[in-house]
Amino acid sequence: MFIRKIDYKNGKNRRQYSTYKLVDSIRTERGPRQRVIMNLGVDYALPKDNWKDLAKCIEDIITGQRYLIAYPKDIRILESRYTRHIIRTQASAAAESEDSALDYGTVDLNSVEDEEARTVGAEYVVYETIKELGLDRTLKELGFNRDQVAVSCGVIAA
């Protein structure tokens, strides 16, 4: 995978702009071809030096490989957003092309991994305790506005 910059010229006002696309090379019967995986948009702000790292990071996630090197935080944030979009798009395309017949299979439960698992149980218990103790009312009495009370309770619960 790689990222390609494509320059366009608007026919109405003659302004030039660029769009960025995530592209994959695939082999076909007629030879290698390039397929656009995702349009990254016009306001793509990642420096060109990091394009290769981002494309490699996305490819690693989609193909199920582990990171060989640790990528910077800004690349991992973009990778997470783009990978989720690509997986959703591929899943919806696969669902549209499937027959209505059910296909059951077995899954090795020891090999299943979950991504971005989140819990809210502990935070909910703390929030209910804050309300029970009246801490939110005390903050209002001290002059906190509604947003400040919500942020304070969120920080305490976290």
Does residue 66 sit within a domain?
yes
pTM: 0.51
| Dist. CA 121–CA 150, nearest whole Å | 18
In this prediction, residue 96 carries a pLDDT of: 63
In this prediction, residue 101 carries a pLDDT of: 60
Q: How many domains is the chain partitioned into structurally? A: 2
Look at residue 106 and give its three-state secondary structure. coil
In this prediction, residue 140 carries a pLDDT of: 92
Does residue 111 sit within a domain?
no
Residues of the chain with pLDDT under 50: none
Task: For 52-75, write each residue's pLDDT tens digit.
Answer: 888 888 888 777 777 667 778 888
Does residue 46 sit within a domain?
yes
| Dist. CA 21–CA 35, nearest whole Å | 10
In this prediction, residue 53 carries a pLDDT of: 85
Parent domain of 62? 2-97
Q: Rounded to a whole number, what is the distance in angstroms from the first to the last CA of the chain?
A: 38
In this prediction, residue 41 carries a pLDDT of: 80
**Judgement on whether residues 25 and 66 belong to the same structural domain of the protein:** yes
Does residue 102 sit within a domain?
no
Does residue 107 sit within a domain?
no
**Judgement on whether residues 14 and 48 belong to the same structural domain of the protein:** yes
- Catalogue the E-assigned strands of 108-157: none
In this prediction, residue 95 carries a pLDDT of: 61
